[in-house]
Amino acid sequence: MDEKILVTRSSMPPFEEYVEEIRSIWETRWLTNSGAKHTELEANLREFLSVSNIALCVNGHQALECILEAFDLQGEVITTPFTFVSTTNAIVRKGLKPVFCDINGEDFTIDADKIESLITEKTCAIVPVHVYGNLCDDEKIEKIAQKYNLKVIYDAAHAFGVRKNGVSSAALGDAAMFSFHATKVFHSVEGGAAVFRDSAMYEKINQLKNFGLSSPETPWYCGGNAKMNEFCAAMGLCNLRHIDAAIASRREAAERYRQRLEKIPGIQLNTVQHGVQSNYAYFPAVIHPEKFGCSRDELAKALARKNIAVRKYFYPLTSSAEYFKGAHPAGETPIAKFISDRILCLPIFEGIGEKTVDRICDAVISEYKG
């Protein structure tokens, strides 16, 4: 049996580099609560992401919850169900009502033309999701938000380092959250960040992520704990030094996939967005069974038999979660449902290499029954 290929694999800095990075932690014994590594990583990310305000968090999910809390939102939030459960859960956990908007079938982000019809007097914000390294139509979204005085908070978990016409994904909207989970293009083992336009929010988010304390003896808000520790920040510092090589390696893999698969009938590849410099976070393929000859699920099983692990990011739609008790029928977002039923993310990670991509492509193509 050929060696197992996982859907992704964490990027790792050289071992010695990480050991060197954490050496000072033994000297200072400062392990968490906004230590020196945390401060340095915030500064480095501020520069890399071209953003003025950034607050590191324990993970992306908590970063999104902190942002939603910091804006004191109430009422309805327009978002999409084609995302990781985290996005919808954060909205619901903060006492807000998700209103699901459909996506477009090309780049799988929110269909901005369908947002306006979902706005009511209770709408307070839009939480669009950049998926796979594709960016949402921020210009249309911004216009709608201004017209109706809504906050725009991006789930940018997949958009680290992505730029559109030179503008950083971190600069879009009123705020955005990034995930630095082990499976992401850039990671700090677990981790995430809140970025935001208004610098007045920096203090507020820092207090929200630290139990709502404004000083050791002053709890002003019933906050939680969402702080990033020093070992995670140290991993982030190391990985950030290698981020360009990591993205370049993913780009090569994505290009090889494209060369091999783009002419296969029934396989719809991710759109290349005009002016967008992607990070190649995922390599999604939509499998159209009527042309490909077998379904997404059959293909996934066939690949598993060849020791190739793929994932259905994102299936099922978050709107179908049991806790909604059928309140959001999939028929309301037919394109999201259609894509979710056919999407398959093929393995991609730093260092995957042409040989491995070719093995995956051979396995995919051998299932084509046109």
C-alpha distance from residue 75 to each of 94, 95, 98, 153 (Å): 10, 8, 9, 15
Is residue 242 close enough to count as binding ligand T4K by CB under 6 A?
no
**Whole-angstrom Cα distance, residue 253 to residue 279?**
12
Q: What does the chain come to in residues?
A: 370
Site size for ligand T4K (CB under 6 A): 24
For residues 335 and 103, is the Cβ–Cβ distance under 8 A?
yes
Return the residue of 37, 151, 158, 337 that touches ligand T4K, per CB under 6 A.
158
Q: How far is the CB of 172 from ligand T4K (least distance, A)?
A: 15
The tokens describing 20, both together, are 């060197």
88 binds ligand T4K (CB under 6 A): no
For residue 107, state whether it binds ligand T4K (rule: CB under 6 A). no
Could you tell me the two tokens for 16? Answer: 């010695």
Stretch that binds ligand T4K, among 25-33, 54-62, 161-169, 212-220 (CB under 6 A): 54-62
Minimal distance, residue 272 CB to ligand T4K, in Å: 20
236 binds ligand T4K (CB under 6 A): no
d(CA 218, CA 227): 18
Please give the Cα distance from 137 to 243 (Å, whole number).
Answer: 25
Side-chain half-sphere CA neighbours of 269 within 13 A: 18
Q: Does residue 321 belong to the site contacting ligand T4K (CB under 6 A)?
A: no
Pick the closer one to ligand T4K by CB: 235 or 292.
235
Can you tell me which of 10, 44, 89, 273 binds ligand T4K, judged by CB under 6 A?
10
Residues 6+ positions from 116 with CB-CB distance below 8 Å = 144
Q: Which of 34, 134, 179, 279 binds ligand T4K (CB under 6 A)?
A: 179
Contact 235, 187 (CB under 8 A): yes
Q: Judged by CB under 6 A, does residue 6 bind ligand T4K?
A: yes
Q: Which residues are at the interface with ligand T4K (CB under 6 A)?
A: 6-10, 59-61, 83-84, 86-87, 129, 155, 157-158, 179, 181-183, 192, 309, 311, 313
